[in-house]
Structure 1
Amino acid sequence: MSTQPTGVTQEHAILTRHLGSVQDRVSRLLCDKESELQTLSGEIVRLRGLLVLSRTSMLWGLSAPLMRVGRRPTKRPSLEQPTAARQEDLEASRKAICQTGCTGHAHHWLSDEGQCRWSGRPCDAGGD
């Protein structure tokens, strides 16, 4: 008797090896696609954040930093040393908060002495 597989047995062994290699290839492709999907999902979240920042800055009348798609900012501006533009943005933010949070709601932050309880400054919107 011969120990060599013949006929149907040999064909079955060849097909089984071929099926194994196809399964390996499909598994690698699925892993690659999952990795790509995770990368793209992260990019979507980052871009949505930039969109919210941009729209909020535009609607509030603030100057938004120019951000390029596909690149992350390498250095953030220092919060300890405010620039003139940053001071203007902070002042505009303060006025917007004052207008919406106090003036628009019957001056609930205004003390009897005419001082803002939120900022500690004299109220520049008036008590009317």
Structure 2
Amino acid sequence: MLIQEARIHLIRKPVAPALSDVACEHAALVRMLAGAQARVSVLVSDHAQQIAALQAQIVRLRGRAILRDTMLAWLRESLARLEPEAAEDLAPHADAADRVICQTGCVSHGNYWRDDDQCRRTGKSCTMDGVKVEIPR
């Protein structure tokens, strides 16, 4: 039994210095934990600032999108009002252009657009039927 008691006694003696080692390790771990918490706090703060900046950017971009969509709607309405006027204005010009093409292609150049009293360009009956155009020399 003496041997066991000696062993127990020997085991108990180094326990007191081990407590100081444990305390030192604990203190080191607490310092490391404090450093990690400080780094995480900085990261969380940075992320919060980034989130706030991104949310502000979202608001600005939504405003721009609304402005763009509104302007596009106004332009479409304006275009819809102008199209009938433009068609009315273009009709006389289109008729004048047809007469020039017919005079040039059919009368002056040997009936280029004409095919059996039909205009190959428009598919209609020839409007220059029997018209003689005098070309000044």
TM-score by length of 1: 0.41
Which of the pair is proportionally richer in helix? 2
- Relative to the length of structure 2, the TM-score reads 0.39
* Higher CA-based Rg: 2
- Ranked by relative contact order (alpha carbons within 8 Å, sequence separation 6 or more), the top structure is 1
